[in-house]
C-alpha cells in the first residue's frame, strides 16, 4: 500500500499546478484583453470620441483589475473634461492597482492636481508627498508640492485674518450694543428725571396751591382786626386804654349833663308862667 502514496501525491500536485497554470493563463488572457480595450479607448479618445472611449476604458477595467493604465487613462479623460470627482476616483483606483512605483507616482501626482482644482490645498500637499515617495526625482511634482504649500499658507493666513476681523467686528458690535444700551438706559433715566421733575413741579404747584388755599382759608377763618373782641386787642403805643376811654366818656357825659342842666335852667327862668284856672 505504501508504494502508491508517492504516486497519489504526484498526481495531486500535477493537478494543482495545472489548475494554477489555467488560472494564470486566464488571468493573463483577461489582462491582454484589458490592454487591447485600453488601446482602443486611447485611439477613440485621440479622435475626440469620448463616449466610445469611456465605454472601452470601462470594459478594460472590468476585464482585469491588474491593468492600472485603464483607470489612469480614464481618469485623465475625466480630468480634461473637468469632471474632477470622477477623475479623482479613477486616479485613486490606478494608484491602488499599480504594482510599480512609477505608475503609483503618476496616479498620486494627478490626484494632487485634482485637489488643486478643488482648492483643497492640504490634501494636495499630502498627495504630492505620496507621489514623491514613489519618485523623489520628479521636478514637476516637487514644484506642484511647493506651490500647494504656498497656497495653503496664504489660505490659512486669510482664514486667520478673517477670524480676527470677525472677532474685532464681534467686539465692536458688542461695544456698540453696550453703548446703545447705556444710551438707552441714560435716556430712560433722563426721562425718569424729567418725569420726576414734572411730578415734583406738579407736587410743588399742588403744595403751593394747597398752601394758598389753606392760607386763604385761614384768612377767612381769621377775624378782621376790627372784628376782634376788644378784650383781645392789645394796646398800641400812644393809644388810650379801655379804662381811660371809659373815664373819658364818663367825664364827657358829666360835662354834657352839666351843660344840659344849665340850658334847662335858663329855659325855666325865661318861660312864661301860665295862670292856673280857678274853680
* Confidence (pLDDT) at 199: 54
In a domain, 132, yes or no: yes
Query: What gap in Å lies between CA 138 and CA 117, rounded to an integer?
Result: 21
In a domain, 207, yes or no: no
Rounded average pLDDT over 177-199: 63
Tens digits of residue pLDDT in 96-148 = 999 999 999 999 999 999 999 999 999 999 999 999 999 999 999 999 999 99
Q: CA 157: distance to chain centroid? A: 24
Range(s) of the domain holding residue 50? 16-151
Domain containing residue 129: CATH number: 1.25.40.10
Q: How confident is the model at residue 257 (pLDDT cuts 50, 70, 90)?
A: confident
In a domain, 137, yes or no: yes
- The torsion angles phi and psi of 252, rounded to 5 degrees, stand at -65, -40
In a domain, 241, yes or no: no
* Confidence (pLDDT) at 248: 72
* Domains of the chain: total: 1
In a domain, 194, yes or no: no
Q: How confident is the model at residue 266 (pLDDT cuts 50, 70, 90)?
A: low
In a domain, 203, yes or no: no
Residue with cell 349833663: 257
- The predicted model scores a pTM of 0.55
As given in the structure block, the three cell numbers for residue 177 are 450694543
- The torsion angles phi and psi of 277, rounded to 5 degrees, stand at -65, 145
End-to-end CA distance of the chain: 228
In a domain, 175, yes or no: no
Query: What gap in Å lies between CA 156 and CA 160, rounded to an integer?
Result: 6
In a domain, 210, yes or no: no
Q: Of how many residues is the chain composed?
A: 279
Amino acid at each position: 500500500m505504501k508504494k502508491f502514496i508517492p504516486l497519489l501525491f504526484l498526481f495531486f500536485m500535477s493537478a494543482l499546478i495545472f489548475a494554477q497554470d489555467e488560472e494564470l493563463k486566464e488571468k493573463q488572457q483577461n489582462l491582454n484583453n484589458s490592454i487591447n480595450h485600453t488601446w482602443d479607448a486611447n485611439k477613440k479618445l485621440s479622435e475626440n470620441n469620448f463616449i466610445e472611449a469611456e465605454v472601452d476604458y470601462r470594459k478594460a477595467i472590468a476585464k482585469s483589475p491588474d491593468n492600472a493604465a485603464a483607470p489612469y487613462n480614464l481618469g485623465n479623460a475625466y480630468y480634461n473634461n473637468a469632471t474632477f470627482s470622477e477623475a479623482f476616483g479613477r486616479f485613486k483606483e490606478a494608484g491602488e492597482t499599480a504594482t510599480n512605483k512609477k505608475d503609483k507616482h503618476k496616479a498620486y501626482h494627478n490626484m494632487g492636481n485634482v485637489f488643486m482644482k478643488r482648492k483643497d490645498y492640504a490634501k494636495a500637499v499630502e498627495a504630492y508627498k505620496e507621489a514623491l515617495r514613489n519618485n523623489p526625482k520628479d521636478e514637476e511634482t516637487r514644484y506642484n508640492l511647493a506651490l500647494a504649500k504656498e497656497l495653503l499658507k496664504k489660505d490659512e493666513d486669510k482664514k486667520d485674518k478673517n477670524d480676527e476681523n470677525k472677532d474685532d467686528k464681534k467686539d465692536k458690535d458688542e461695544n456698540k450694543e453696550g453703548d446703545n444700551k447705556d444710551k438707552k438706559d441714560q435716556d430712560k433715566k433722563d426721562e425718569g428725571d424729567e418725569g420726576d421733575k414734572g411730578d415734583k413741579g406738579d407736587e410743588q404747584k399742588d403744595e403751593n396751591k394747597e398752601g394758598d388755599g389753606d392760607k386763604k382759608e385761614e384768612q377767612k377763618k381769621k377775624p378782621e382786626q376790627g372784628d376782634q373782641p376788644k378784650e383781645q386787642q392789645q394796646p398800641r403805643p400812644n393809644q388810650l386804654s379801655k379804662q381811660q376811654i371809659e373815664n373819658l366818656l364818663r367825664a364827657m357825659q358829666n360835662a354834657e349833663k352839666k351843660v344840659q342842666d344849665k340850658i334847662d335852667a335858663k329855659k325855666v327862668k325865661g318861660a312864661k308862667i301860665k295862670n292856673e284856672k280857678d274853680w
